[in-house]
Amino acid sequence: DTEVTQTPKHLVMGMTNKKSLKCEQHMGHRAMYWYKQKAKKPPELMFVYSYEKLSINESVPSRFSPECPNSSLLNLHLHALQPEDSALYLCASSQSGDYGYTFGSGTRLTVV
């Protein structure tokens, strides 16, 4: 299995809702990442997990809460989001050292 699987592919949520994005990989990669991408902009790094521990938080608002239950799974819990949080949320994983990332196809989130 050489893929990163993200679910759901599309999500519409209200500003008072709580929802979660899920990311899964079975390549034995030790690092997993969340990126946010607005339309016509490059992906922006949000969080990095290394060996299931949060190693980088790029000053992301607390309404985004990451979780890494095990080495294959990464969640992003969403609560009280704003319409400007609407974006494509991308998950990626990588092996150690100098190998490239494998990205999922993303979850397109719309906050109404």
Residues lying near another protein in the complex (CB under 8 A): 4, 31, 42-45, 48, 50, 55-56, 88, 90, 92, 94-95, 97-106
Residue with smaller CB distance to another protein, 90 or 111: 90
Please report how close the Cβ of residue 16 comes to another protein at its closest, in angstroms.
28
CA atoms lying within 13 Å on the CB side of residue 46: 27
Residue with smaller CB distance to another protein, 80 or 88: 88
Residue 99: strand, helix, or coil: coil
Which H or E run includes 59? Answer: none
